[in-house]
């Protein structure tokens, strides 16, 4: 697992995907610090790594990145860590369009295509 705070090459994400799940990389994005953790077997593992490094729980959102896809198909908003009734997020997705937009911007900034 690693925290990505600088650009990561798309080819590296593809290698991680192949080594783990075949076509996807699990990631947790910190929308406040504008970083993401990748390479964990579970979103909860990446979430724990970010929490250990000073992130706040309410700023962390789990996604899946599909390196072989482009545009809207590259990011999937689906993670158990996203179930947060206290933050009005009642699904495994990210219900708030503003938060989704921030996640997309951060991921696009961190992936070098």
Residue 77: per-residue pLDDT: 98
Distance CA 73, CA 82 (A): 19
Across all residues in the chain, what is the average pLDDT?
96
What single-letter DSSP state applies at residue 84?
A: B
pLDDT above 70 as % of the chain: 100
Distance CA 74, CA 54 (A): 28
pLDDT tens digits, 17-54? 999 999 999 999 999 999 999 999 999 999 999 999 99
Distance CA 100, CA 18 (A): 26
Distance CA 23, CA 66 (A): 6
CA distances, 105 to each of 14, 18, 38, 45 (Å): 20, 24, 16, 23
- Beta-bridged to residue 29, according to DSSP, are 36, 61
CA distances, 51 to each of 10, 14, 96, 99, 108 (Å): 25, 26, 22, 19, 22
Distance CA 52, CA 1 (A): 13
Residue 113: per-residue pLDDT: 79
If you average pLDDT over residues 50-64, what whole number do you get?
Answer: 97
If you average pLDDT over residues 90-101, what whole number do you get?
Answer: 96
Residue 97: per-residue pLDDT: 96
């Amino acid at each position: 697992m690693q925290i990505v705070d600088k650009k990561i090459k798309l080819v590296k994400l593809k290698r991680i995907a192949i080594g783990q799940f075949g076509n996807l990389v699990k990631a947790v994005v910190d929308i406040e610090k504008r970083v993401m953790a990748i390479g964990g077997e579970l979103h909860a593992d990446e979430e724990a790594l970010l929490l250990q490094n000073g992130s706040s729980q309410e700023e962390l959102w789990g996604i899946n990145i599909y390196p072989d896809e482009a545009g809207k198909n590259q990011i999937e908003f689906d993670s158990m860590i996203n179930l947060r009734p206290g933050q009005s997020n009642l699904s495994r997705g990210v219900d708030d369009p503003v938060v989704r937009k921030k996640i997309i911007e951060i991921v696009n900034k961190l992936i070098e295509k």
